[in-house]
């Protein structure tokens, strides 16, 4: 975790580092358990601060435009609003090893890149502007993979996780700014409202969504027997197909491709398995900067891209696109 967001209270930080160092087991507590704790702590820590994500109309925000910036765990005390001296923690920490891929959480432009690019933050950081006064910040990076002023797509690899700056170990410090660069919101809640599970998990894609993940769903549905045009628009024809698929599986037929629907949609694939589902895989690999042909042929190139993705996300690099790899790619 880190001291992000404001002047550092040296004494408090030292005490915190000691506490964490002495309790390594706490680092691997499940993210969801920590999330529950984080929510409770937040109300206390920043109860008087007005900058919060609205929970309203969550379904309409699950439009496929946002995605998980990095795979990892939530370290103890790394939640939004955690006490950091006289300032609450401005982001959510996601722990993994140095070199783990960091992706753009949404399409945007790189508006800051360097060291200490925001007041009080340390180490290498990036700021993306997403328009409409929305920004995301990625801190403690080890490697930049995009240039300043570059336009990026959602899911594009923008950097590698690291431990630069004032940290106790490698992690991504992830912030969401709303209403301009400065006022932050809880990044976990911000992404959850948009169908994204920060740190890893199946996304939720609602009717009306668009983008690469929708294209992947359309390819997967085609493989399941309902030929869909892979136009990346989750319109009525695609939604009806998904609803029928959900009914056939005994699921709630709401047309939302979420954590209960995804596992039934994705097959386990490896080299030598051609088909439309491979196009789905290739589409999601490309969303994450693979740059391969979407040809439905799982050959050496797709195998290599799958392994590279797995390595970059700290998965078993066996070239087998199974549920864990699909979940990471879809998220």
Residue number, 121 or 287, with CB nearest to Zn ion: 121
Nearer to Zn ion, 94 or 269 (CB): 94
Nearer to Zn ion, 117 or 285 (CB): 117
**Shortest Å distance, C-beta 168 to Zn ion:** 10
52 vs 87, which CB is nearer to Zn ion? 87
Separation of alpha carbons 277 and 291, rounded Å: 17
Assign 115 to helix, strand or coil: strand
For Zn ion, give the closer residue by CB, 89 or 219: 89
User: What residues are paired with 152 via a beta bridge?
Assistant: 108
- Strand segments, DSSP code E, in the chain are 83-84, 87-88, 92-95, 101-103, 108-115, 124-131, 134-141, 143-144, 151-152, 157-160, 171-177, 184-185
Q: How far is the CB of 107 from Zn ion (least distance, A)?
A: 24
Could you tell me the smallest distance in angstroms from the CB atom of residue 179 to Zn ion?
A: 21
> Is residue 241 classed as helix, strand or coil in its secondary structure?
helix
In this structure, how many other beta carbons lie within 10 angstroms of the beta carbon of residue 185?
A: 21
Please, how many CA atoms are within 13 Å of residue 287, restricted to the half-sphere of its CB?
31
**Residue 29 vs 297, nearer CB to Zn ion:** 29
Angle (nearest 5°) at CA 205 between 29 and 245: 105
Q: Is the dihedral of CA 253, 234, 201, 176 positive or negative?
A: negative
| Smallest gap from residue 207 Cβ to Zn ion (A) | 35
Of 2 and 239, nearer to Zn ion (C-beta) is 2
Structure tokens at 30: 């499940």
Q: How far is the CB of 128 from Zn ion (least distance, A)?
A: 17
User: How near is the Cβ of 110 to Zn ion at its closest, in Å?
Assistant: 20
For residues 210 and 239, give the distance between their C-alpha atoms in angstroms, rounded to a whole number: 12
Residue 93 CB, shortest distance to Zn ion, in Å, is 4
- Nearest residue relative to Zn ion (C-beta): 173
Beta bridge partners of 134: 131
Q: Which residues bind Zn ion (CB under 5 A)?
A: 2, 4, 93, 173
Q: Name the region of 155 (left: φ>0; alpha: ψ -120 to 50; beta: rest).
A: left
């Amino acid at each position: 975790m880190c001291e992000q967001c404001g002047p550092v209270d040296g004494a408090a930080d030292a005490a915190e580092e000691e506490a964490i160092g002495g309790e390594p087991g706490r680092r691997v507590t499940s993210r969801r358990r920590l999330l529950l704790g984080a929510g409770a702590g937040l109300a206390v820590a920043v109860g008087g601060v007005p900058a919060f994500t609205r929970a309203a109309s969550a379904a309409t925000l699950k439009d496929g435009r946002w995605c998980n910036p990095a795979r990892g765990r939530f370290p103890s005390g790394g939640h939004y609003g955690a006490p950091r001296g006289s300032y609450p923690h401005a982001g959510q920490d996601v722990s993994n090893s140095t070199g783990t891929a960091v992706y753009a959480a949404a399409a945007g432009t790189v508006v800051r890149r360097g060291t200490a690019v925001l007041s009080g933050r340390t180490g290498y950081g990036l700021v993306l502007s997403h328009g409409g006064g929305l920004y995301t910040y990625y801190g403690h990076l080890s490697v930049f993979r995009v240039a300043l002023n570059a336009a990026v797509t959602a899911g594009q690899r923008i950097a590698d996780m690291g431990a630069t700056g004032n940290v106790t170990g490698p992690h991504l410090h992830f912030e969401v700014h709303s209403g301009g660069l400065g006022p932050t919101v809880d990044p976990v809640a911000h992404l959850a409202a948009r169908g994204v599970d920060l740190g890893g998990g199946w996304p939720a894609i609602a009717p009306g969504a668009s983008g690469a993940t929708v294209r992947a769903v359309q390819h997967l549905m085609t493989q399941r027997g309902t030929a869909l045009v892979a136009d990346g628009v989750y319109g009525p024809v695609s939604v009806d197909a998904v609803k029928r698929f959900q009914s056939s599986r005994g699921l709630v037929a709401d047309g939302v491709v979420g954590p209960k629907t995804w596992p039934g949609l994705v097959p386990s694939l490896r080299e030598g398995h051609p088909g439309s589902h491979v196009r789905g895989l290739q589409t999601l690999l490309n969303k994450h900067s693979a740059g391969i042909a979407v040809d439905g042929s799982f050959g050496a190139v797709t195998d290599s891209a799958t392994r590279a993705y797995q390595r970059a996300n700290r998965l078993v690099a066996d070239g087998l696109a199974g549920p864990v790899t699909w979940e990471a790619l879809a998220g």
